[in-house]
């Protein structure tokens, strides 16, 4: 992870004193120079650990602001406003996702000490911040079940004694690196890339530091459980986690959260399960919240939080306690509703997921009611991504080409363990085939029933349509043009002197389809939650898992297992997009209801 343009950074800050003066100048009451300095060191340390990859992830509440997408606040140009509101600590909580449990602590120790040697004089410490500081380690402690703690001493380089001199002892400071052990890390979904830099200040030469983070749904579930379950005991008394109120409010104000992931994270949360609970509670309440329930000790949550607010500058501008609890309650009560898909922090409300919205539409479309007579409610703009072979096209276009070339038996005889190897081997069989046959296939593709009307109706309703195919551009390109689809992804057949070379480039396999969809999501401003994928085969499984809703069209076993619904007729996707059913399906529905309708 390259996080510093050392030349630009050192041109701006030739000395440690110059850096600290700049931090003093841009600091605010809610974002102090000391906080900025410690964030900068923490970001430098995790970047040094991650210089060979992404194996070190940030955990806990410390990177809270890095999850945020928005916050209705303003600040100077040198400070990210979300950091003026986030309650973050001054240590660094991390976890190595690549180290297995076997000898985990030894591997962690070696990695940390490579960056910050233990028991060394400051002059022999690891180089940090492009040479402005040296790092050394002391007091390595390992707890039985929780974590390994490393105290890293930061030694600023002396400005007056040359590049190897260190500053006075009083200028050194420490930062704690808390490395979570595998027994304490629970992940119910994929790690997330930080949306914002771990460092809240913007400095010349400093690149955004965006490591992988623990999923925000897991973090929110931890805090839900900590507040709803009986608090632990500290110093012989109950120790409620008032800080988690601030953190949940912050998440609700800044972070989109997937409802399914949050429900799953809470169901799997060890604290929640240990308390004998299952899914999200409704209504949500803090443990001991007045009036306390039987067996609970009443906890003065309001007073406890106000005491915390008085000590933490970031919390002083948070709203009145009751308003905060109202926001948290809306967020957490909604998590109990299976139809809620994504929490929208900007609006402070849950949006129906594509999955629940589409599932409801599908059930409605397939029911023997009067769907054909009911008004259709317009749907938000979505991206619909279609596979080609045996989805848009009735047949496998490569098999059609092989049959025209008289080489179908040889192509069918190819067996390979993975998609790419299989396709390359099949194309090799077609070496020397006249390229005019490819054009013939492209011009005569037989479409699946209803797909042309469906795509036309989707586009007319304002939705976006794209094609992601494991096939080839010489076939997919003309097909996309025929259907009026502007965006498509496909491989390239090698053609020289009017014949196939037997080679192919740019194959769009399963991960390739996901890459294309992500690109289109960004170009169109349509999130994955509002993306619908339609396909039939194993090469579609990756994209099925990467979108909000997956429709298997007459699918094979692998695609069926990854589908949210299975279609036998393409026309039922009309109801997914809140469009009227095709006439042929309405007629079939009327027949199922008992024959032709009486005409008066």
Residue 594 binned pLDDT confidence (cut-offs 50, 70, 90): low
**CA–CA distance, 421 with 502 (Å, rounded to integer):** 13
**DSSP, res 548:** S
Min mean pLDDT across 53-57, 464-468, 516-520 is at 53-57
pLDDT at site 425? 92
In the three-class reduction of DSSP (H, G, I as helix; E, B as strand; rest coil), residue 28 is classed as strand
Closest to 528 in 3D by CA, of 189, 249, 187, 188: 189
Residue 94 in contact with residue 180, Cβ under 8 Å? yes
Cross-strand pairs, 262: none
CA distances from 522 to 97, 197, 296, 475, 513 (A): 28, 20, 49, 26, 14
- 158 as an active site residue: the answer is no
Q: Is the pLDDT of residue 248 over 50?
A: yes
> According to the model, what pLDDT value does residue 582 have?
77
Q: How far apart are CA 47 and CA 1, in angstroms?
A: 6
Query: Considering the chain, what is the average pLDDT of its residues?
Result: 83
For the record, the structure tokens of 89 come out as 């600590």
Do residues 186 and 218 touch, judged by C-beta distance below 8 A?
yes
Catalytic residue, candidates 158, 389, 473, 540? 389
**What pLDDT score was predicted for residue 192?**
87
Of the candidate ranges 4-13, 163-172, 176-185, 339-348, the one whose mean pLDDT is the lowest: 163-172
Contact 263, 338 (CB under 8 A): yes
Q: What is the pLDDT of residues 142-201, one digit of tens each?
A: 766 567 889 999 999 875 655 555 665 557 899 999 888 877 777 788 888 888 889 989
C-alpha 198/C-alpha 244 separation (Å) is 20
Lowest model confidence (mean pLDDT) among 65-74, 81-90, 401-410: 65-74
Annotated catalytic residue within 387, 457, 536, 540: 387
Whole-structure pTM value = 0.60
CATH number for 383-590 (one of 3.40.50.300, 3.40.50.11540, 3.40.50.1820, 3.40.50.1000): it is: 3.40.50.1000
Q: Domain limits of the chain?
A: 1-67+82-214, 215-362, 383-590
pLDDT tens per residue, range 271-315: 788 777 777 788 888 888 878 777 777 888 999 899 989 988 888
Average pLDDT rounded to a whole number, residues 210-226: 90
Report long-range pairs for 398-407 (Cβ below 8 Å, ≥24 apart).
Answer: 398/423, 398/426, 398/471, 400/441, 401/430, 401/433, 401/437, 401/438, 401/441, 401/475, 402/426, 402/429, 402/430, 404/437, 404/440, 404/441, 405/430, 405/433, 405/434, 405/437, 407/433
Both tokens assigned to 503: 């080679």
Question: For residues 21 and 11, what is the distance between their CA atoms, to the nearest angstrom?
Answer: 15
pLDDT exceeds 80 at position 5: yes
Three-class SS of residue 560? helix
Average pLDDT on 62-78 reads 70
Residues in Cβ contact with 548 at an 8 Å cutoff, skipping those fewer than 6 apart = 341, 353, 354, 355, 527, 528, 529, 530, 531, 532
Q: Is 387 a catalytic residue?
A: yes
């Amino acid at each position: 992870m390259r996080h510093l343009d050392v030349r630009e950074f050192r041109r701006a800050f030739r000395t440690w004193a110059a850096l600290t003066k700049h931090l003093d100048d841009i600091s605010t009451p809610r974002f102090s120079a000391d906080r900025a300095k410690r964030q900068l060191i923490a970001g430098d340390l995790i970047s040094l650990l991650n210089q060979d990859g992404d194996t070190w992830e940030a955990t806990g509440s410390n990177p809270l602001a890095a999850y945020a997408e928005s916050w209705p606040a303003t600040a100077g140009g040198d400070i990210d406003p979300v950091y003026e509101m986030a309650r973050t600590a001054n240590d660094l909580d991390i976890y190595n996702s690549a180290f297995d449990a076997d000898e985990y602590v030894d591997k962690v120790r070696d990695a940390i000490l490579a960056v910050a040697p233990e028991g060394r004089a400051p002059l022999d410490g690891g180089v940090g911040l492009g040479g402005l500081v040296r790092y050394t380690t002391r007091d390595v402690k390992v707890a039985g079940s929780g974590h390994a703690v490393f105290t890293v001493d930061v030694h600023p380089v002396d400005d007056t004694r040359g590049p190897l001199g260190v500053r006075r002892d009083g200028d050194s400071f420490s930062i704690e690196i808390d490395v979570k052990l595998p027994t304490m890390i629970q992940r119910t979904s994929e790690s997330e890339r930080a949306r914002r830099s771990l460092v809240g200040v913007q400095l010349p030469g400093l690149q955004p530091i965006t490591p992988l983070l623990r999923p925000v749904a897991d973090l929110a579930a931890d805090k839900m459980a900590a507040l709803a379950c009986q608090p632990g005991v500290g110093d012989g008394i109950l120790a409620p986690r008032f800080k988690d109120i601030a953190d949940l409010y912050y998440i609700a104000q800044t972070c989109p959260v997937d409802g399914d992931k949050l429900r799953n994270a809470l169901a799997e949360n060890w604290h929640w399960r240990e308390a004998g609970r299952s899914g999200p509670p409704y209504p949500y309440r803090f443990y001991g919240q007045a009036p306390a329930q039987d067996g609970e000790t009443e906890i003065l949550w309001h007073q406890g939080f106000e005491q915390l607010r008085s000590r933490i500058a970031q919390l002083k501008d948070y709203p009145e306690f009751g308003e905060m609890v109202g926001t948290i309650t809306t967020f957490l009560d909604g998590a109990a509703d299976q139809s809620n898909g994504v929490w929208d922090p900007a609006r402070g409300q849950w949006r129906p997921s594509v999955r629940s919205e589409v599932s409801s539409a599908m059930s409605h479309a397939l029911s023997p009611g009067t769907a054909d007579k009911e008004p259709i409610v317009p749907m938000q703009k979505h991206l619909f991504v279609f596979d080609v072979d045996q989805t848009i096209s009735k047949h496998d276009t490569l098999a059609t080409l092989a049959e025209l070339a008289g080489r179908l038996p040889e192509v069918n005889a190819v067996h390979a363990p993975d998609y790419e190897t299989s396709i390359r081997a099949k194309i090799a069989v077609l070496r020397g085939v006249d390229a005019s046959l490819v054009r013939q296939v492209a011009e005569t593709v037989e479409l699946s029933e209803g797909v042309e009307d469906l795509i036309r109706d989707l586009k007319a309703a304002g939705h976006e349509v794209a094609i992601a195919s494991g096939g080839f551009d010489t076939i997919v390109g003309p097909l996309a043009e025929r259907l009026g689809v502007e965006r498509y992804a496909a491989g390239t057949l090698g053609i020289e002197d009017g014949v196939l070379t037997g080679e192919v480039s740019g194959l769009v396999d399963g991960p390739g389809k996901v890459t294309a969809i992500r690109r289109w999501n960004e170009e169109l401003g349509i999130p994955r939650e509002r993306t619908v994928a339609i396909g039939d085969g194993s090469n579609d499984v990756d994209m099925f898992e990467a979108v909000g809703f997956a429709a298997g069209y007459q699918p094979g076993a692998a695609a069926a297992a990854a589908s949210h619904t299975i279609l036998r007729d393409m026309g039922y996707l009309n109801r997914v997009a809140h469009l009227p059913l095709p006439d042929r399906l309405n007629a079939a529905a009327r027949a199922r209801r008992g024959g032709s309708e009486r005409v008066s």
